[in-house]
Structure 1
Amino acid sequence: MAASARDSDDRPPKLETDSQVRQVELAEDDVDFRRRELRVVAKLDMYVCPILIVMQLISFLDRGNIGFAATQGMIGDIDLVGTQLNTAISLFYPLYILAEFPAALIVKRLGFNRVIPTAALCWGLVCLGNGFVTNFAQLAACRMLLGMFEGFLFPSLALMLANWYKRDEIGLRISYLFIAAAMASAFGGLIAYGILFMGDPGRLYIIEGAVTVVIALLCYFVIPSSYTTAYFLNKDDRAVMRRRAEITEAYSGGRGHYTMREFMMAATDVKTWLHAIVQVMSLTVLYGFSVFLPIILRFGFNFSVEQSQYLSIPVFFWGSIVYGIGGYLSDRFGRRFLACILCAPVGVVGYAILLGGNQVPVGVRYFACFLIASCAWMLGGGNLAWLSTNTAPDGKRAASIGLALAIGNVGGIVSGQIYPQTHAPTYTLGHAYSLAAVSLNFCLWWVIRRIYYQREGLKEGMRGGSVAEPPEFSDRAPSYKYQH
């Protein structure tokens, strides 16, 4: 896992020999160090995580508010016809995808404390301007710009977590980001319900955009550049962080900078592409469900505008609770596969119920939305955490996450097209496609698990001398143990 961004003279020396690695790993068993480390991790959870959670929350608020605005009359106000709403939703993702991979490669060099607030400031201004659009062309332009600036966020957040936390801690913290996405959908329902009584859906964009701008400006002052200068860490805390960085770098091979060789290691590793395919399916389900649920409740279940706003709130809250529990347990027991594989059948049942259409009572279909929420955030979050904790060195991890996110967000483009308004009230295409996506993920996770177990078998051969050890350190090295 990557160490915190810092100058080269601050970077701990590369630990080359097995004895040095073992000596560093022994630090983890030191009772005093562990006590001090727990205190430092608690500080990170208090000062670092909340900032990142807020950034993720406002990001999903600003991209997802189009679904709530559509139920409040935006379609008629700016004269959208046919599938123009779906097109506008999909246009968010092309530039979003193009921005994610370079963001993963440059954010550490430019500084998390610069990139994250600047991206938020830019998309906040775009969101604010979205409240003044009068036609489809203006809406499309705003969606594309919004996607371009938001594309810098998630890779930056994921890699910042990887710089501040160790690999057995990161799964839970990445889960916080997906919980924030679920909470954003819930809060979006609350905000939309409140703004509904103001009589102008454009105010939804203006208010949320203005809040994002204010938060972005504050983040220039509260996001630390590195642990060496963090305002909430004292001298002893920084010593602990340096030792944590040594342990991580000894295990994961971090050098503090990324090379083309490490990019090629990610690009030529089959697990990168399998996780990326899973991410495509996962984000198709997540974005389709989170953006279109208010629309499905309004035009599919025939609820009123008010009902479609407030009935979406408990569904999204439930999704955040389930994912929070899953993220905690996967970190606690180091079982990434189980966290992913157990949620998929629940989602399959949920979509199967919705495919029953009007033959199924509305109450049962609404219950099915809770089943889908039980898996929607776990699909992408669990998959990304699994990839992150099984990839080294840090340059390969950055490239792998960047590729998985960039390719995965093709699912965002797809999600905007599978729920056309012309398919109301059954939305058969969207539900069927989502069911197939969850089912495919279920199958691919078994394949990925098999690959990890096969590689562990090869590592046993390397330790015994029967198989040649790879010349360069990576997660394929015998000293690196995969989490299953």
Structure 2
Amino acid sequence: MANDDSKTKLETESHKFTHDEYGDQELEEWRRKEKTVVHRLDCFIAPVFMILNLVSYLDRGNIGFAATQGMTREIHLEGTQLNTAVSIFYVFYILAEFPASILVKRLRFDRVIPAIALCWGLVCLFTGFIQSFGGLVVTRVLLGFFEGCLFPAIALFLCNWYKREELGVRIAFIFISTALAGAFGGLLAWAVLHLDGIANMSGWRWLYIIEGIATVVWAGLCTMLIPQNYQTAYFLNDDQKAIIKRRAEEMDAYSGGSGRYTRKDIKEAAKDIKSWAHGIIQIAVVTILYGFGTFLPIIIKDGFQFSTVQAQYLVIPVNIWGAVVYAIGAVLSDKYTARFLPLVICAPFGIIGYAILLSDVPSGVRYFATYLVAMPCFICTGGNIAWLSVNCAPDGKRAASLGILLTLTNIGGVISGQIYPSNASPAFTLGHAWSLGSLSIGWIGWWFVRSMYRNREASKDKALVEGVAVPERDFTDRAPGFKYQI
């Protein structure tokens, strides 16, 4: 009897909606049509944001490639000025991200996202013409501010189109594009070496100019590719729009969503320990993602004693491997609604990788260690975000919780900019040791989060048995009918 009482609100509401219109024999046909619609979203929605995130990460991360191609020397950077420029980006990323998480849902996604992309594309383009450290700082400030608005917009947009049990893979799409950006960035950086000297400009300047132009062009295309909502989606017919409408009703019935949020939602997010637990873990794991992604070309060139050309193309397979691992982990995580296992399984590989990087071993072995680091690099960052997102309700609380997490996230970005100073080569002991410790903290933190969710689920099961009911207006993920994914 207790098991019957513990049926989730999601199952109840989902069956109610489908059975209201369809009989039992037609339920399978409904699910088939729904699967077709989700596949259509994956073809027309997910790729747009994957490319947006790819160019975003290219524009922020190419400073590492530019440094290996002579930017440091040409604009007369001294000491740790390169690291300072990296950290400045994340400071202004932080300043933009939380308010963006709260405000962006009040705006039209089809207008605000292309506008954000256009602004940072122009800044990237301008970076190709800077002449000093001051110019670099100005561009990193602007780039950080505009890009800080992007990910909250993407995350909330996806939450409007996908159910929570589908969300992990779609957030994975975004972070896979980050991994691919690292690979594509290496390929592009290698290619622009051949442009060095054209129009009396260095290759690194062409790197920024080409990426800036590409971003501006894609921003223009996004004005046509991103729909305001499902009613205006050009890629859906009337029957498919009806299915999306029904899905939206199911999601709202389960999460208590109203499409708007209040100060109460923000307070609920702020006083919920899971917002801060996931956020603190995110500081740790994003230190690895941004430190690894930004400085990998420098680590390979100066740390492993490879040439500039070798450093440009050796980053490619490492990032592709990280994307493959994340893709497999995300699919399995969504399929089995298992958020904890992929994270705690992959993290130890990265810990071993950093331990090897701290050891006195041949360059080939140390390069192999970067593949071990790539395994948790992307999945631990995106997986932690997905875990919090699917366990927040209603949608206002989800937006605020993600805002807290994403704001804390970029503290890790600031840290990552300082742990790999240029004068630390070839050992880069501080960076590797700090990253090893950060990944260890993340691994321990997930065990704490898992225990917290299990304790809450036990309390909910007891409340369900006792017949505790929560008024609809007060429904959150703390209600007995909301089942956490663990």
TM-score range, shorter chain: over 0.9
Deviates more, 1:146-155 or 1:22-31: 22-31
Residue 25 of structure 1 and its aligned partner are, at CA, apart by: 6.5
* Post-superposition offset of 1:239: 0.6
Alignment TM-score, normalising by the size of structure 1: 0.94
CA distance in 2, matches of 1:388, 1:120: 24
5+ residue gaps, structure 1, are 1-15
Q: How many residues align?
A: 467
Mapped pair 1:293 → 2:301:
no
Contact 2:62 2:185 in 1 (8 A): yes
Residues 95, 134 of structure 1: alpha-carbon distance in 2 compared, 3 angstrom cutoff: same
Select the residue among 137, 142, 146 that pairs with 1:145. 142
Contact 2:169 2:331 in 1 (8 A): yes
Provide, for residues 301-325 of structure 1, a one-character-per-residue CA deviation record: whole Å limited to 9, x for no partner. 0100000111111101111111111
How far the C-alpha of 1:466 sits from its partner, in A, is 7.6
Structure 1 position 54 matched with structure 2 position 51: yes
1:404 counterpart residue number: 405
Say which of 88, 93, 96 aligns to 1:91: 88
* Residue 111 of structure 1, CA deviation: 1.2
Contact 2:349 2:372 in 1 (8 A): yes
Alignment of 1:406-421 (within 5 A): 406-421=407-422
1:248-397 matches, within 5 Å, as 248-356=251-359, 359-397=360-398
The answer for the alignment partner of 2:16 in structure 1 is: 23
State the Cα distance separating 1:260 from its structure 2 match: 0.5
- SS for the counterpart of 1:224 is coil
Per-residue Cα deviation, 1:242-288 (whole angstroms, up to 9, x for no partner): 11011111111101101100111100000000000011011100000
Q: Which stretch of the first structure deviates more once superposed, 393-402 or 460-469?
A: 460-469
Residues in 1 aligned to 2:32 and 2:344: alpha-carbon distance in whole angstroms? 34
Give 1:238's aligned residue. 241
- Amino acid in structure 1 at the alignment position of 2:383: G
For the Cα contact (< 8 Å) 2:333–2:339, is it kept in 1?
Answer: yes
Whether 1:36 and 2:37 are equivalent positions in the alignment is: no
Shift of 1:121: 0.1
* Pairing partner for 1:134 from 131, 136, 139: 131
Shift of the 18–384 alpha-carbon distance from structure 1 to 2, 3 Å rule, reads: closer
On the 8 A contact 2:98/2:406 being kept in 1, the answer is: yes
Distance in 2, Cα, partners of 1:190 & 1:219: 25
Kept after mapping to 1: 8 A contact 2:13/2:254: no
Moved more, 458-467 or 231-240: 458-467
Q: Does 1:480 align with 2:477?
A: no
CA contact (8 A) 1:113 1:220 kept: yes
How many angstroms apart in 2 are the aligned matches of 1:98 and 1:348? 31
Q: Does 1:438 align with 2:439?
A: yes
The Cα of 1:26 is off from its aligned counterpart by 5.0
Q: Separation in 2 of the partners of 1:453 and 1:106? A: 33
Residues of 1 paired with 2:352 and 2:158: CA distance?
34
Question: What letter corresponds to residue 423 of structure 1 in structure 2?
Answer: A
Q: Distance in 2 between matches of 1:342 and 1:251?
A: 31
CA deviations on 1:148-196 (whole Å, 9 max, x unpaired) are 0001111111111111000110100000010000000100000000001
Q: Deviations over 1:402-455 (max 9, x none)?
A: 110011111000000000011110000000000000000010100000000000
Q: In structure 2, how many angstroms separate the alpha carbons of the residues matched to 1:446 and 1:339?
A: 12
Which residue of structure 2 aligns with residue 7 of structure 1?
A: none
**Alignment partners' CA distance in 2, 1:457 and 1:292:** 44
- Corresponding residue SS for 2:79: coil
Quote the Cα distance in structure 2 between the aligned partners of 1:60 and 1:441.
23
Cα deviation 1:93-132 (Å, max 9, x = unaligned): 1111111111112222211111110000000000000000
Deviation at 1:24, TM superposition (A): 2.5
Tell me by how many angstroms 1:17 deviates: 13
CA contact (8 A) 1:115 1:152 kept: no
| Residue of structure 2 in register with 1:75 after alignment | 72
Aligned-partner Cα distance in 2 for 1:457–1:111: 40
Kindly indicate whether the alpha-carbon contact (under 8 Å) linking 2:75 and 2:132 is maintained by their aligned counterparts in 1: yes
Q: How many Å separate the matches in 2 of 1:310 and 1:23? A: 54
User: Could you list the per-position Cα deviations for residues 380-404 of structure 1 after superposition, in whole angstroms to 9, with x for gaps in the alignment?
Assistant: 1010000001110000001001110
**Match of residue 6 from structure 1:** none
C-alpha distance in 2, partners of 1:20/1:164? 18
Distance 2:422 2:10 in 1: 62
CA shift, 1:22, in A, is 5.6
Shift in Å, 1:463: 0.7
**Equivalent position of 1:4 in the other structure:** none
**Retained in 2: the 8 A contact 1:462–1:469?**
no
**Cα distance, 1:472 vs structure 2:** 1.5
1:137-216 correspondence to structure 2 within 5 Å: 137-199=134-196, 200=202, 201-216=204-219
Equivalent residue number for residue 118 of structure 2: 121
Q: Which residues of structure 2 form unaligned runs of 5+?
A: 1-8, 197-201
User: With structure 2 as the length reference, what TM-score do the two structures score?
Assistant: 0.94
Instruction: Tell me the C-alpha RMSD between the 2 structures.
Output: 1.7
1:26, 1:454 → 2: CA distance?
34
After the TM superposition, list the runs of 4 or more consecutive aligned residues in structure 1 that deviate by more than 4 angstroms. Answer: 16-22, 25-29, 466-471
Amino acid at match of 2:232: T
Give, as a single letter, the amino acid of the residue that structure 2 aligns with 1:381.
Answer: G
Cα deviation code 1:214-240 (max 9, x no counterpart): 110111111000001101111100110
Partner of 2:452: 451
Residue 297 (structure 1) shift: 0.5
Judge conservation of contact 1:25–1:247 (CA < 8 Å) in 2: no
